[in-house]
Amino acid sequence: MTNFSVLAILLFLAMWGVGGKQGAIAFVSLGINFGLLFLTIVLVQFHLPPLPVTLVSGSIILAVTIFFGNDDDNSTTTAFYASVIVMFLLLLFIVPVEHWAQVAGFGDEDSEDLEGMSLYIGLSFLKVEICTVVLSTLGAIAEAAMAISSGLSEIETHQPTITGKRLFGDGLNVGKQIIGTTFNTLFFGFFGGFLALFIWFVGLRYSIGEVFNDKVFVAELLMVLLSFIGVLITVPMTAGVASWRWDRRLKKQTKTDSVAKSDSEE
């Protein structure tokens, strides 16, 4: 049994022990998402258009992440709608930023690993980089959307007469509470994942200018910043979707009550 298998079993037992049935389902969703990512890579390798393939697989990954293991249909539906909208809106930032930054492909630090290999893969490295950034932002977007929609679902349950405008404001307040922790999570994840690269910079005495012009460093930093922008957009978007759905529900309920009242009077 490999180390990976042992860690996977320990993760499943921990998620099952803490989350019960929902934790076990969440573990299964993790495996499904891994399969979807692998399928995305295979489809792109077969020269299907990378961006449409990524958007379709990203929508499916968001659906699996949000709906699996969550019993509240109201909060999950709101989170899914908001996440998909944010994914498409974030693409408007990702495409021009990645095009202007010119950080697609490999950096000087990768030269030894790539020595003797051909870089002719028949695909645009820029398109591959855009797809990578889109897929990398999905986790932060789904987490923020689910946290806000779950909080708003509780508010709707305990305050059935709340207005959509008030619900939107409450959603913004909930979002403010998670922005700081989300940014720290993204930042320290980036720092921990690239600790070896930072040691490389220090050991070779890179200047600040060389660090901020290094392709590998800038590519990962842009990924973190774009993920944080995605979270920032997710906050008002989730609150807006929740308030819109709540207003529709209230109008439908009011219409139903008026029809029932008129029928009783007859």
Residue 83 pLDDT more than 90?
yes
CB atoms within 10 A of CB 10: 10
Residues 6+ apart with CB under 8 A from 164: 243, 244, 246, 247, 250
Instruction: Give the Cα separation of 22 and 29 in Å (integer).
Output: 10
- pLDDT value, residue 9: 85
Residue 85 pLDDT more than 90?
yes
Sequence spans of domains, the chain: 3-265
What type of residue is 135? L
Compare 187 and 112 and report the one with higher pLDDT. 187
Contact of 182 with 102, CB cutoff 8 Å: no
> Residue 95's pLDDT band (boundaries 50, 70, 90)?
confident
- pLDDT value, residue 247: 85
> Residue 238's pLDDT band (boundaries 50, 70, 90)?
very high
- pLDDT value, residue 56: 92
Residue 221 pLDDT more than 80?
yes
Arithmetic mean of pLDDT, 98-121: 71
The two tokens of residue 114 are: 């790539």
- Residue-wise pLDDT for 40-75, tens only, equals 988 888 888 888 999 999 999 999 888 886 777 888
Please report the DSSP string for 186-224 in residue order.
HHHHHHHHTHHHHHHHHHTT--HHHHTT-HHHHHHHHHH
Residue 188 pLDDT more than 70?
yes
- pLDDT value, residue 60: 92
Instruction: Give the Cα separation of 177 and 225 in Å (integer).
Output: 19
- pLDDT value, residue 112: 64
